[in-house]
Amino acid sequence: MVPTIGVLALQGDVREHLAALSAAGVGAVPVRRPAELAAVDGIVLPGGESTTISKLLGIFELLDPLRARIADGLPAYGSCAGMILLAGEVLDGRPDQEQLGGLDVVVRRNAFGRQVDSFETDLDMTGVGSVRAVFIRAPWVEKTGADVEVLATVPGDAAQAAGRVVAVRQGNVLATSFHPEITGDLRVHAYFADLVRSA
Ligand code: GLN
């Protein structure tokens, strides 16, 4: 059976994720309502602005249903702002910013700093291979719990941020600081689609 993966469609680069998922061979639908969330086999939380998405999750009455489904094992993939939303704890966030949970990590928002707030590099991602990673005011993972697997770090030749953790997985929850949805490389979405199929 072909799984249907939802993309949380409140703000951010929703279209790019929908296109990448479709190209990776799964059903891809936008999710704005609890009934739409209830119908998906997995969920993508796109890049955008985590504080805005957090606020909209409340307004659209998706915060509790999404938290509940993720706690229940719904496969979830967050890129950039999506990683921030999945994290148990956020540094440099807004005090009223809500967390979905699912990832036992501490992330730092806008971590790469102003000079290098957006950059690209090639890096190795476990289970995927070498990928072109595009960072746009990205977070990094500053602390990982015992059940969190580190899938990628910034390579040593990328100066300031070398060694920083930028892709993680905990069970059915996947997160990257970078944006594979804008590179045309479908392998990270294919990796998530495989995770959804085997969940
Ligand atoms: N800085 C953004 C945030 O805090 C994330 C940026 C992105 O998703 N490209 O949510």
In tens, the pLDDT along 10-44 reads 999 999 999 999 999 999 999 999 999 999 999 99
- Number of independent structural domains in the chain: 1
In tens digits, the chain (199 residues) has pLDDT values of 899 999 999 999 999 999 999 999 999 999 999 999 999 999 999 999 999 999 999 999 999 999 999 999 999 999 999 999 999 999 999 999 999 999 999 999 999 876 567 889 999 999 999 999 999 999 999 999 999 999 999 998 666 788 999 999 999 999 999 999 999 999 999 999 999 999 9
Query: Which is nearest to 28 in space by CA: 198, 196, 199?
Result: 196
d(CA 175, CA 169): 6
pTM: 0.96
Reply yes or no on whether 80 is catalytic.
Answer: yes
| Range of the structural domain that residue 113 is part of | 4-198
CATH number, domain with residue 113: 3.40.50.880
Q: Among 16, 17, 181, 189, which one carries the catalytic annotation?
A: 181
**C-beta of residue 99 within 8 angstroms of C-beta of residue 132:** no
d(CA 37, CA 167): 25
**Which two three-digit tokens encode residue 34?**
């609890």
Reply yes or no on whether 36 is catalytic.
Answer: no
CA distance to 33, 35, 58, 70, per residue, from 179 (Å): 25, 27, 25, 21
